[in-house]
Structure 1
Amino acid sequence: MEILLSFFNTILLSFVELLYLLGIIIAIGFLLGLLERYSNRFLYGALGPRGVLLTAWIGTPIHEIGHLLMCFLWGHRVTRIKLLQLNSTDGTLGFVEHAYNRNSIYQQVGNFFIGLGPIFSGIGSLILGLYLLVPQSFATFKLQIQQHVSFEKLDLNVLKNFGDALMVIGKSLFTVQNLETPTFWIYLILAIGISSHIALSKADIQNSAKGLQMIFILLVLFNIAAKFLNIDSYKLIGQLAEYNAYVLAFSSIAILFSLITLTVSFLLYKLKNGRRF
């Protein structure tokens, strides 16, 4: 009975540690997916199928490149790739098909990160575009990160810093000087396109789930070993999970533009339909 209770506690501890390590990035993925779903619904209602295609030309390749880069990083073999297809019969705008060695723990774990690849490539592209096209706003965003974000315990203070980063980047973008600058408008169009296709598809989520299962199993084994070695695994994982403060700060730019995209698509929908819903 005591052994069974100990094993149950290990399973519960591993689940909590999994939330600490990956809960934030998973939550961000679901939030971006929710915002994108409503944005595309409004765009479809306002402009029809071409409404979604207007943003696909930049957003879909960035989405698929995220999968592709993660495939390379985690040792998967890419078998087929299509960065953009506008005439698909099933509505699939792009895809990356890959194979991996099912006996490789490393490659099995990689499924999680391959599935989440579009979040990384989307956020990275938004930050790179900010650096190249709106350097003043990038400098403000960088300063906010340097002064207010650090490796720390995930608590209300981290969430406050996330909210502050969201406000700072928003205020630094929509200034009179930027509104008069052509590169700002180029960046805005690109950012809306990227944020419109940053979320994960059903297939992406299913693929990530495979890797998540392996990560959980590894955490269980790690906690069993930690007990025998008298190591405080919970404290160790908690310290490792402090990187979430940076995940939240950097993801603020993707969430901001997803909110902007939602607002623009909603206004277009209202203008087209002119009715309440």
Structure 2
Amino acid sequence: MIFLKQTIDYFGLLLSIAILLPAVFAWLISYLTNTAGSIISEKFGSHFYLVISSIGVIIHELSHLIMALLFGHHIENFRLLQLPKNGQVGFVTHSANPKNPWQAFGNLLIGFAPMIGNSLTIYLLTRYLQPNVFYLQVSFNWQLLCWLLIVFSLSLGIGLSHEDFENSMQGMWIAILLLIIAALTLQLTHIILIDRLFTFIQQEASLFVIALAIAVIDFLIAKVITFF
């Protein structure tokens, strides 16, 4: 009974780390950034939105593309950036063998890829241009302006579309199975203790809160723009 309870505890923590926590924050961040993008497009036109979000859109689609290639999907067509067409400023169409567990699982990460790609790019850019931001300090110089403009563009491109979320769901059953196996492995080996997983969840949540804060700022900026 104790073995079963602890295995369930491991599974619950792994589920929170790998799926639940990322999914909740992904939805919130996507809602805010996508809404901000819609507001800007309605106010200034889709072409203006394309200009200011171009870097973010390119990294967004490139993240989908790279992840799809890593999981062996067939790339049918893609555009890292294009003039607005049917509401799209970029796309990646790919296909996979549904009987291939590796490719099926890949759908989960392919759909979620922009959250990883755009966030990582923001992190690396900050480390290079404004490292003091991590210590809540700002250096007022030309690098700050570049950093603000590029981060704004990247954050506009971080949001997932409805199709991205749907695509991710296709790999969910494989992910659940892998988490069950991982939970059993951790319970048998105790390579990672439950307390360590709790600590990891706190660190992961902190990173997501920062990303959410950036999304909120995007949303507020878009709202303020509507008054002019």
Whether TM exceeds 0.5 here: the answer is: yes
Aligned pair count?
Answer: 220
Q: 2:113 pairs with 99, 117, 134, which one? A: 117
Deviations 1:155-193 (A, max 9, x none): xxxxxxxxxxxxxxxx32xx3xx2x30111111011111
Q: Is the 8 A contact 1:15 1:216 kept in 2?
A: no
Letter in 2 for 1:38: T
SS at match of 1:98: strand
CA distance in 1, matches of 2:104, 2:194: 24
The correspondence of residues 38-187 of structure 1 with structure 2, limited to 5 A, is: 38-88=35-85, 90-138=86-134, 140=135, 171-172=136-137, 175=138, 178=139, 180-187=140-147
Q: 1:260 pairs with 206, 212, 217, which one? A: 217
User: Closer, same or farther in 2 for the Cα pair 1:266/1:102, shift >3 Å?
Assistant: same
Q: 1:201: how far off?
A: 0.7
- Asked if 1:215 is matched to 2:215, the reply is no
User: Closer, same or farther in 2 for the Cα pair 1:29/1:102, shift >3 Å?
Assistant: same
**What is the Cα-based RMSD across aligned positions, in Å?**
3.1
Normalised to the residue count of structure 1, the TM-score between the two structures is 0.68
Q: 1:115: how far off?
A: 0.4
Paired-residue identity, %? 24
SS at match of 2:202: helix
Q: Which residue of 1 aligns with 2:4?
A: none
SS at match of 1:270: coil
Q: 1:189 pairs with 149, 160, 165, which one? A: 149
Letter in 2 for 1:260: I
Letter in 1 for 2:214: F
Q: 1:78: how far off?
A: 2.2
User: Closer, same or farther in 2 for the Cα pair 1:94/1:41, shift >3 Å?
Assistant: closer
Normalised to the residue count of structure 2, the TM-score between the two structures is 0.81
The correspondence of residues 17-32 of structure 1 with structure 2, limited to 5 A, is: 18-32=15-29
Deviations 1:20-48 (A, max 9, x none): 53111111110111211331233234323
CA distance in 2, matches of 1:19, 1:134: 31
User: Closer, same or farther in 2 for the Cα pair 1:49/1:81, shift >3 Å?
Assistant: closer
SS at match of 1:34: helix
Q: Is the 8 A contact 1:122 1:195 kept in 2?
A: yes
User: Closer, same or farther in 2 for the Cα pair 1:125/1:16, shift >3 Å?
Assistant: closer
User: Closer, same or farther in 2 for the Cα pair 1:237/1:54, shift >3 Å?
Assistant: farther
User: Closer, same or farther in 2 for the Cα pair 1:28/1:131, shift >3 Å?
Assistant: same
SS at match of 1:92: coil
Q: Which runs of 5+ in 1 are unaligned?
A: 1-9, 141-170, 272-277
